[in-house]
A and B are shown apart, each in its own frame.
Chain A
Amino acid sequence: MKIAPSVIMLLVLAAFLRFFPIDFPFFTEAETRIAVRGYSLATTGKDELGRNLPLIFNSLTDYQLPAVSYLTSLGVVLFGKSDLAVRIPFILIGLGIVFLTYRLGGWWAGFAAGSSTLLIFLSKVPNEAIVLTFLFTLLYIVVSRPVINIKIFLALLGLLVLVSKTAWFLIPVFVIFAAGKIRFKLFLISGIFCAAALIIFLQIPQGWRSLQENNFQGFAAASIQNGIDRLRGQGIQSGWPPVAEKIFFNKSWFLTAGIFNWFSSFSPGILFGPLDNMGVWPKAAIIPFILGLFRAKSLIGLSLIMTLPFLFTYPDIDKSMLVASVPFMALIVAAGFKSLKTFFKILVAGALMFELIINLLNPVSLRPTWIKQIAYDAYELSLKNNVVVSDDIISDITPFLYWHTPLLPGENLKQPFPYKIRQTEIGDNLKVVGWENTFYICGADKPTSIIASRRDLKKIQIDHRITYEKQYKNDQGEVAAFLMPDKICVH
């Protein structure tokens, strides 16, 4: 296949934007957990909880499907234990999306995908959304062809259902939209795949709960139910007929809230928001996007479909899930670019690149870079002493303690599929402690080094007049943790 120089230029540009700056962004708790898991799978064949090549993994709050973890382990196998090794498979997938978008809508579509801040951002961290996006774009190409290669179609379905639970609810609808006409066979096959994945998943203990809490939480939003009850009560107290109150305030508010949650994911504030708050594009892209909306109206539907899961997740908008719609929105942006005269095309594209590079040079990151120092110190101290670290310094400190130190994960689970797991035994001398632990002045016991959160500092200082030796500040300059002197022991 001959590739035009303009395409090579596009891919080089996209690669540059994905590799530069190479250490940005710092991994969050969830991403670090995937990195740790990938490393563990690559080196021992077991996940971070000690299970042999499992199909279901655990994050702190939910089950996770296998594709992303094994993909991460591939990076670690090839490039060793480093942030870059973890990033590389996802950067390649990101570049793949740019290429596929180019194939769909031409150079400007590729450019729009290549310069999408959200796509760049998620191409640099281990996550499900980017893999999902790649596979859905590929599926679109396969399904929208007049003759469908059923083997590729089946392979894609197989991969998709192993990436994210979200895919199970999206694939059949997507297939109908992408096919351009009703193809019952495709719909049926994709439906069977998704139903099978769902049924298997529900066999796992707490599988249903996992779906309720992480994929359909909108139907249990207490704030909506409270609002309905409260306002209805006010009406009845004021003499409005109860029937009218029922008409105005009822369960349909859950659906309304869901629909608006879904639509809100497309509000300009989110699409063109700041980098680390996961804006989809730099603000300069507003112009071609708006122009494109007038020229490619039908693509709005397809873009909306990709974010359908937000309908059920009120009040959360997991902005990373917006990325699935980026290739299709890139086609809208491309249509906008095409409608501009050459001078304006260059002007807008230049402004877009300028804004993007400024953002990448001065990233305002909300990510916990400060936790690295705590992980280092905890490890160094654990070489001499027993060390405990408070579990509320950050929502899930365990993966950081593994990823930024030479410690190896490993746990003996009492049950194969725990829903929510909290790891406390990090190494021989390193533990994570929670609210249930208490502190006392060591007598004959071997003292422990404690990196305490505010909660544990308070607990210690209630009974003992001990001050800390060192403070750890977070990226906002607030004190997040304290290193206590070696006088205290932990129950």
Chain B
Amino acid sequence: MRTLRNKKFLLVLLLIAVAGFLRFFKLGEYPVVLNHDEISQIYETASIVQTGKDIYGNFLPLAFPSTGDYKPGHYIYLSTLPYLIFGDQEATIRVTAAFFGTLTVLGVFLFVKALTQNWKIAYLSGIMVAFTPSEIFYSRKSFEGVIGESLIFFGLFALLKGRYIGALLLGLSMYVYTSYIIVVPLLLLFFLRKRFLPLLLIWLAVTLPLVLLIATNQDLRFRAGSVFITQDPNFQGSLDYIFNRYLNQFDPTYLFLNGLNLTDQGVVGMGPLLLLQLPFLILGLFRVNRLLVGLMIVSVIPSAVTFEQHSPHRATLFFAALSIISALGLHWFIITSRKPCHFMAGLNAKVITVFRGKPGGAVRSGFLQFLVNFLRKPRTFSPRKFIRKWFVLLPFLIAGFLLNFVYFVRIYTVSYPYEKSQSLHYPFVEIAKFAWLKYQNFDGIVIDPKFGDVAPETAVAVHYYLAFYGNYPPAKLQGQLKLGEMSFDKFSIRPVNWGKDKNLQNTLIIASPWSIPVNSLDKEKIIKTFYFYNGVPAYYAIGL
């Protein structure tokens, strides 16, 4: 018994090690650069650690004005520890999410174990979540939703075990990620029973300060309000519209082919779930229990009530729920596939029972009946043969999953930076480093925030890139940063008006082809060209 327990413990450790490997391996290299959210978070973390203030001089703010989006502060505060350990490395800001992303796997395992009392289903669920593309993708970027998700699974596990800490963890998850303010109370409806009453009261006590905070702090409300469905220009106050948006979250093409938005090639992309999870998800849907159904239908709400058609980052909990359900399906498949004939016959008998003796008696499954007959045909039916057959199937299944996973790795490491170079803000790392390299040669450095591969957009975090890659002390930045036309030190981040700016003296202008007439420029003045990952010119550095 003890040996078996040890074996199981080792297997869980192995699972967590694998999950950790998938989340921590080359964390600084993939994604290829820090995007505008990550760069602002890491520099704000440095600012908090070194000065206790954000770059605008606010002392320990609850919401960081950052790039104008009022980021909730939890991720930044949680990242202070990794910052103290790892310092000014790019990977530092991703460590917190990767850590909690790894913990989520354990959380899922424990939750499913408590829910189903079945070690195998729990372990399969852990494997599914460990390998699910959405889980890996969001665990490798500084995304606070992963922390909330992890807390929810541990919270649900504790709640199922009747532990008070469950209420605390669920309450905390609401602090960490705003979307869970909707999800958690709805999930708790499934625990409205007498024995859970003390736990629910604790949860209420934990949540009350959050309610007060939201009611009194405008900055905290700003973020939620700016992404709410009311910001969708097509939304005209119709409940039907929200409900349609909600139902669209279950679109299989979105879930399995392109929902992760790693490419711009339509269906040839990557979904939040692996393609091979689909058949098992369908099977699992017929084995699912009340709480899992609840988790599935509630966790998708945040994604449905925002201004976008799909917000996969707000649906990570939903994807995890689907992964658990697909694990249920896989487990069922493994068990029943050993007796395919009995399985089909049982299913068919059930179907026939539904309509027996009723006006719809004619309704029955032709296909299932056919399968049953087919499987029964060899009267010398040998269970051994079938088992052998399915044992052959298992390696194929594993190989299929691995191939599907390698496909994700391929899309994530190769195509994602090619296709999403602009949204990753790819050129700014090189621009920041170059600007500091030329710092001594010029009196002023102007960087135009307008950039784009296909269409122009305005970069909002250029000052963060400059400050981070120039090791610029946050205390100094706080004193120097001028808002409006953003500037500090020699740097000015503003639109370039080439007609006027070409007459500036001893100035380095870094601007995109959207702002300067590249073809009519004196080519000798272009001292460097910065490219998007896909090789398209993004910026030109012009020495005046």
User: Which A residues form the contact surface with B (CB < 8 A)?
Assistant: 102-107, 109, 141, 144-145, 176-182, 223-224, 226-228, 230-231, 234-235, 238, 240, 244, 247-249, 253, 256-257, 260-261, 263-264, 267-269, 272-274, 283, 293-299, 301-302, 314-315, 331, 334-335, 338
Cβ-defined contact, A176 with B347, below 8 A: no
Can you list 12 A-B pairs, Cβ within 8 angstroms, ordered by A? A144-B364, A181-B370, A227-B269, A234-B415, A240-B414, A249-B268, A257-B267, A267-B247, A283-B243, A297-B350, A298-B364, A338-B354
Per DSSP, chain B at the interface is helix
Cβ-defined contact, B362 with A109, below 8 A: no
> Whose C-beta in chain B lies nearest to the C-beta of A183?
B366
B51 at the binding interface (Cβ < 8 Å): no
Cβ-defined contact, A223 with B365, below 8 A: no
> Whose C-beta in chain A lies nearest to the C-beta of B352?
A298
Cβ-defined contact, B267 with A109, below 8 A: no
Set of chain A residues within 8 Å of B244, measured between Cβ atoms:
269, 273-274
CB distance from A53 to the nearest CB of B (A): 38
Contact of A144 among B247, B354, B362 (CB under 8 A): B362
Set of chain A residues within 8 Å of B233, measured between Cβ atoms:
none
Cβ-defined contact, B360 with A145, below 8 A: no
Given contacts A181-B369, A223-B266, A297-B286, contact A264 B359 (CB under 8 A): no
A145 to B355, CA, bound (A): 15
> Whose C-beta in chain B lies nearest to the C-beta of A268?
B247
Set of chain A residues within 8 Å of B358, measured between Cβ atoms:
105-106
User: Which B residues form the contact surface with A (CB < 8 A)?
Assistant: 240, 243-244, 247-253, 256-257, 263, 265-269, 275, 285-286, 347-348, 350-351, 354-355, 358-360, 362-370, 373, 403, 407, 410-411, 414-415, 418-419
Cβ-defined contact, B265 with A102, below 8 A: no
Cβ-defined contact, B367 with A177, below 8 A: yes
Cβ-defined contact, B355 with A105, below 8 A: yes
Set of chain A residues within 8 Å of B366, measured between Cβ atoms:
144, 176-181, 302
> Whose C-beta in chain B lies nearest to the C-beta of A231?
B415
Cβ-defined contact, A301 with B367, below 8 A: yes
Set of chain A residues within 8 Å of B368, measured between Cβ atoms:
298, 301
A315 to B257, CA, bound (A): 13
Set of chain B residues within 8 Å of A179, measured between Cβ atoms:
366
Set of chain A residues within 8 Å of B240, measured between Cβ atoms:
274, 283
Given contacts A181-B370, A181-B373, contact A224 B363 (CB under 8 A): no
Set of chain A residues within 8 Å of B364, measured between Cβ atoms:
144, 180, 298
CB distance from B134 to the nearest CB of A (A): 17
A173 to B407, CA, bound (A): 34
CB distance from B384 to the nearest CB of A (A): 28
Most chain B beta-carbon contacts within 10 A, residue among A107, A248, A301, A314: A248
Cβ-defined contact, A227 with B359, below 8 A: no
A31 to B354, CA, bound (A): 40
A297 to B367, CA, bound (A): 11
Set of chain B residues within 8 Å of A273, measured between Cβ atoms:
244, 247
Set of chain B residues within 8 Å of A182, measured between Cβ atoms:
370
> Whose C-beta in chain B lies nearest to the C-beta of A339?
B354
CB distance from B321 to the nearest CB of A (A): 16
CB distance from B14 to the nearest CB of A (A): 27
> Whose C-beta in chain A lies nearest to the C-beta of B418?
A234
Cβ-defined contact, B265 with A227, below 8 A: yes
Set of chain B residues within 8 Å of A272, measured between Cβ atoms:
247
Cβ-defined contact, A105 with B410, below 8 A: no
Cβ-defined contact, A295 with B252, below 8 A: no
Given contacts A141-B362, A253-B268, contact A264 B263 (CB under 8 A): no
Contact of B415 among A235, A247, A267 (CB under 8 A): A235
CB distance from B389 to the nearest CB of A (A): 23
Set of chain B residues within 8 Å of A338, measured between Cβ atoms:
354
CB distance from A476 to the nearest CB of B (A): 11
Set of chain A residues within 8 Å of B275, measured between Cβ atoms:
256
A256 to B258, CA, bound (A): 12
CB distance from A139 to the nearest CB of B (A): 13
> Whose C-beta in chain A lies nearest to the C-beta of B241?
A274
Cβ-defined contact, B252 with A264, below 8 A: yes
Set of chain B residues within 8 Å of A257, measured between Cβ atoms:
257, 266-267
Cβ-defined contact, A264 with B253, below 8 A: yes
A33 to B267, CA, bound (A): 34
Most chain A beta-carbon contacts within 10 A, residue among B256, B369, B414: B414
Q: Which 6 interchain pairs have the tightest Cβ spacing?
A: A298-B365, A227-B265, A227-B268, A180-B366, A105-B360, A269-B248
A301 to B364, CA, bound (A): 11
> Whose C-beta in chain A lies nearest to the C-beta of B359?
A106
Set of chain B residues within 8 Å of A283, measured between Cβ atoms:
240, 243, 247
A296 to B365, CA, bound (A): 9
CB distance from A142 to the nearest CB of B (A): 11
Cβ-defined contact, A231 with B263, below 8 A: yes
Most chain B beta-carbon contacts within 10 A, residue among A182, A267, A299, A331: A267
Cβ-defined contact, B243 with A224, below 8 A: no
Given contacts A235-B410, A298-B348, contact A260 B252 (CB under 8 A): yes
Cβ-defined contact, B265 with A223, below 8 A: yes
Cβ-defined contact, B407 with A264, below 8 A: no
CB distance from B273 to the nearest CB of A (A): 12
Cβ-defined contact, A106 with B360, below 8 A: yes
Cβ-defined contact, B360 with A104, below 8 A: yes
Cβ-defined contact, A263 with B373, below 8 A: no
CB distance from A198 to the nearest CB of B (A): 25
Given contacts A144-B366, A267-B252, contact A296 B354 (CB under 8 A): yes
Cβ-defined contact, A104 with B243, below 8 A: no
> Whose C-beta in chain A lies nearest to the C-beta of B360?
A105
Cβ-defined contact, B414 with A180, below 8 A: no
> Whose C-beta in chain B lies nearest to the C-beta of A258?
B267
Most chain A beta-carbon contacts within 10 A, residue among B256, B286, B359: B359
CB distance from A361 to the nearest CB of B (A): 14
> Whose C-beta in chain A lies nearest to the C-beta of B411?
A231
CB distance from A469 to the nearest CB of B (A): 33
CB distance from B483 to the nearest CB of A (A): 40
Set of chain B residues within 8 Å of A106, measured between Cβ atoms:
358-360
Set of chain B residues within 8 Å of A235, measured between Cβ atoms:
410, 414-415
Cβ-defined contact, B410 with A295, below 8 A: no
Q: A105-B360, A314-B267 given; name 6 further pairs at CB < 8 Å.
A: A177-B366, A224-B266, A240-B410, A260-B257, A283-B240, A302-B367
Given contacts A178-B366, A223-B265, A227-B267, contact A296 B257 (CB under 8 A): no
Cβ-defined contact, B250 with A299, below 8 A: no
Cβ-defined contact, B418 with A105, below 8 A: no
A253 to B355, CA, bound (A): 40
Cβ-defined contact, A297 with B363, below 8 A: no
Cβ-defined contact, B360 with A180, below 8 A: no
Contact of B367 among A223, A268, A298 (CB under 8 A): A298
Set of chain A residues within 8 Å of B403, measured between Cβ atoms:
247
Set of chain B residues within 8 Å of A181, measured between Cβ atoms:
366, 369-370, 373
A253 to B270, CA, bound (A): 12
A109 to B360, CA, bound (A): 9
Contact of B347 among A141, A240, A297, A331 (CB under 8 A): A297
Set of chain A residues within 8 Å of B247, measured between Cβ atoms:
267-269, 272-273, 283
A197 to B354, CA, bound (A): 39
A256 to B251, CA, bound (A): 15
Set of chain A residues within 8 Å of B363, measured between Cβ atoms:
104-105, 144, 296, 299, 331
Given contacts A104-B363, A109-B360, A297-B351, contact A260 B268 (CB under 8 A): no
CB distance from B380 to the nearest CB of A (A): 22
Most chain A beta-carbon contacts within 10 A, residue among B265, B370, B418, B419: B265
A180 to B352, CA, bound (A): 12
Cβ-defined contact, B267 with A224, below 8 A: yes
Set of chain B residues within 8 Å of A226, measured between Cβ atoms:
265
Set of chain A residues within 8 Å of B373, measured between Cβ atoms:
181
> Whose C-beta in chain A lies nearest to the C-beta of B285?
A293
Given contacts A105-B355, A260-B252, contact A227 B360 (CB under 8 A): no
Set of chain B residues within 8 Å of A145, measured between Cβ atoms:
362
Contact of A296 among B249, B266, B285, B351 (CB under 8 A): B351
A271 to B50, CA, bound (A): 56
> Whose C-beta in chain A lies nearest to the C-beta of B355?
A105
